[in-house]
Amino acid sequence: MFGSLTERLKSVFDSVRRETRLTPESVELALREIRMALLEADVNFKVVRAFIDRVRDRAVEKAVLESLTPTQQVIAIVRDELRGLLGEGTGGLPVGSDRPQVVLLLGLQGAGKTTTTVKLARWLQGQGRHPLVVSTDVRRPAAIEQLSVLAGDVGVRVHDPDTRSDVVGRAESAVTLARSTGFDVVLVDTAGRLHIDEGLMDELERLKESLFASDLLYVADAMTGQDAIRSAGEFNRRLGVTGIVLTKMDGDARGGAALSVASVVGVPIAFVGEGERAEDLQPFYPDRLVSRMLGMGDVLSLVEKAEQVVSRDEASRLERKLRGNDFTLQDMRDQLMTVKRLGPLDRLVDLIPGMGQMASGLPDNFDPRAVIQTLAIIDSMTKGERLQYKLINGSRRRRIALGSGTTVQDVNRLLKQFVEMRRLLRSVGAASGQKKKRRARGHMRHGLGFPMG
């Protein structure tokens, strides 16, 4: 399988996490992984090069290097930049001004044009439109029959005139029929062709002109490699493509080629094909392709969730606190609440300020019940106690234990953890010399500020 981009980044940052801060060198390491992952996902070589330069520029900014959440920051940058490649276009097929609206489906051999023609007709029917489909593929054996069978199966009207060799004539007669019978869209399936086949590219130009086609959808196989921008680029140059349909996305192709096409050729992706049946077509959503590229949709949404839950201000306030001397039990509580709101913990350590640095000591079986217990204990404290832990003497500890349904030992343990965590955070916050860092790391592995199961 493809090493997922997110996984690669995580493993890079896992190895640099002990450094407590990101360095330009570790950024380079991450960039190497990003480059590798993008190339393995078939993003075009040149696109990758420019992409890496842009990510580098943003990642070596002081704010990112000094952030306590480097993984989150870099993933967010990568996601942003990937999203940027896809442009602003939205998926679907807008209603045109012409009646009938003429749509040509073009592309290389075997890309999925005929199947897509019928899928699109079905989708349009769902939008309350009245599509008519026609095949102009007089070259591939039984291509006309293929369209007729597919359309017939799902109740899409197909026009199949007797002229079996006149490409333009077949399409024109469909448009004439549509005009007289009230079909408002004509979908024209075309024969597959190579972008370097002059004769056949000319044929498409003639077809486009004589039909006054307003929409030219380039159908591209999601598994295409580096050649994608060349073929799509040439179709676009000759004919002016208005949208891309990305087929065969039901497999495990990352779709990097589509990303390159959208960015280099500058044509928006309109639909995604996800199977062989007529209903397997979806309007394109850029964020889904970005998640697919990153390889872990849930991590992506976690980043988003973390951004929502931990607002920017809150995050920087927390960071300030973590670095200063004024980290209180109240802050610890806030942080744990955040953790709780976000869900599964192992995924989250990188997303919350301070957590990444301490995570090397996190056991795999980090117990959510322990979090709940800790919260209960802190909730049983007075406001003053939360802000000034030194107030909590023996009798207060007994009261807190009683109030939270725990034992004095539990309260003691929590306080010990808190004190240790505070000390640790100070040393991380002030970390400058190597020695200091190494010492902090040693401590982190054993005693951690957070409760563990």
Partner 1 sequence: MSLVDRLRRGLRRTTDQLFGRLDTLTSERRRSLDSGGGPEATASIDTLEALEEILIEADLGVVATNRLIDAARGHVDGRDLLASVKGELCRLLDFRPMPSGSVPCPKVVLVVGVNGTGKTTTVGRLARLAIQEGQRPVICAADTFRAAAVEQLRVWAQHVDAEFVSARAGADPAAVVFDAITCGKARQCDIVLVDTAGRLHTQVNLMGELDKIRRVAGRAISGAPHETLLVLDATVGQNGLHQARKFLESSGVTGIVLTKLDGTAKGGIVAAITADLGLPIRYIGVGEQLDDLLPFSATDYVDALFRSSW
Ligand X SMILES: Nc1nc2c(ncn2[C@@H]2O[C@H](COP(=O)(O)OP(=O)(O)O)[C@@H](O)[C@H]2O)c(=O)[nH]1
Q: Does 95 bind partner 1 (CB under 8 A)?
A: no
Q: Does 140 bind partner 1 (CB under 8 A)?
A: yes
Q: Which is nearer to ligand X, 256 or 354 (CB)?
A: 256
Cα angle, residue 12 at apex, residues 9 and 15 outer, rounded to 5°: 145
By CB under 8 A, name the one of 80, 276, 279, 346 that touches partner 1.
276
Task: Give the contact letters, 160-199, x = binds to partner 1 (CB under 8 A), - = no.
Answer: ----------------------------------xxx---
Report the candidate in 447, 412, 407 with the shortest Cα–Cα distance to residue 427. Answer: 447
User: Are 361 and 448 contacting, i.e. CB atoms less than 8 angstroms apart?
Assistant: yes
φ, ψ of residue 271 to 5 degrees: the values are -140, 160
Q: Does 274 bind ligand X (CB under 6 A)?
A: yes
By CB under 6 A, name the one of 140, 230, 317, 333 that touches ligand X.
140
Q: Does 429 bind ligand X (CB under 6 A)?
A: no
For ligand X, the nearest residue by Cβ is 273
Please name the amino acid found at residue 231.
S
Q: Which H or E run includes 106?
A: strand 101-106
Q: Does 210 bind partner 1 (CB under 8 A)?
A: no
Q: Does 251 bind partner 1 (CB under 8 A)?
A: yes
User: Are 225 and 249 contacting, i.e. CB atoms less than 8 angstroms apart?
Assistant: no
Q: Which does 273 bind (CB under 5 to 8 A by kind): partner 1, Mg ion, ligand X, none?
A: ligand X
User: Are 273 and 119 contacting, i.e. CB atoms less than 8 angstroms apart?
Assistant: yes
Grouping H, G, I as helix, E, B as strand and the rest as coil, residue 221 is strand
Binding residues for partner 1, total number by CB under 8 A? 45
What sign has the CA pseudo-torsion 295, 297, 301, 304?
Answer: positive
Task: Give the contact letters, 92-131, x = binds to ligand X (CB under 6 A), - = no.
Answer: ---------------x-xxxxxxx----------------
Q: Which is nearer to ligand X, 231 or 417 (CB)?
A: 231
Whole-angstrom distance, CA of residue 224 vs CA of residue 414: 56
| Residues in 20-79 at the binding interface with partner 1, rule: CB under 8 A | 36, 39-42, 44-45
Q: Does 149 bind ligand X (CB under 6 A)?
A: no
Q: Which H or E run includes 336?
A: helix 329-342
Cα 323 to chain centroid distance, Å, stands at 32
Whole-angstrom distance, CA of residue 71 vs CA of residue 10: 7
Report the candidate in 66, 77, 75 with the shortest Cα–Cα distance to residue 20. Answer: 66
Whole-angstrom distance, CA of residue 357 vs CA of residue 337: 19
Q: How many CB atoms lie within 10 A of CB 323?
A: 18
Q: Does 279 bind ligand X (CB under 6 A)?
A: no
Q: Does 2 bind partner 1 (CB under 8 A)?
A: yes
Q: Does 255 bind ligand X (CB under 6 A)?
A: no
Stretch that binds partner 1, among 123-131, 251-259, 264-272, 427-435 (CB under 8 A): 251-259
Q: Does 245 bind partner 1 (CB under 8 A)?
A: no
Minimum distance, C-beta of residue 122 to ligand X, in the bound complex (Å):
13
Whole-angstrom distance, CA of residue 20 vs CA of residue 58: 19
Minimum distance, C-beta of residue 177 to ligand X, in the bound complex (Å):
22
Minimum distance, C-beta of residue 283 to partner 1, in the bound complex (Å):
22
Residues sharing a CB contact under 8 Å with residue 115, sequence separation 6 or more, in sequence order: 150, 247, 273, 276
Q: Which H or E run includes 189?
A: strand 185-189
Q: Does 349 bind partner 1 (CB under 8 A)?
A: no
Q: Which is nearer to partner 1, 46 or 445 (CB)?
A: 46
Whole-angstrom distance, CA of residue 391 vs CA of residue 396: 8
Q: Which is nearer to ligand X, 87 or 275 (CB)?
A: 275
- Please give the residue ranges that form the binding site for ligand X (CB under 6 A): 107, 109-115, 140, 192, 194, 219, 247-248, 250, 273-276, 280
- Please give the residue ranges that form the binding site for partner 1 (CB under 8 A): 1-2, 36, 39-42, 44-45, 108-112, 139-143, 145-146, 148-150, 153, 194-196, 221, 223-228, 230-231, 248, 250-253, 256-257, 276
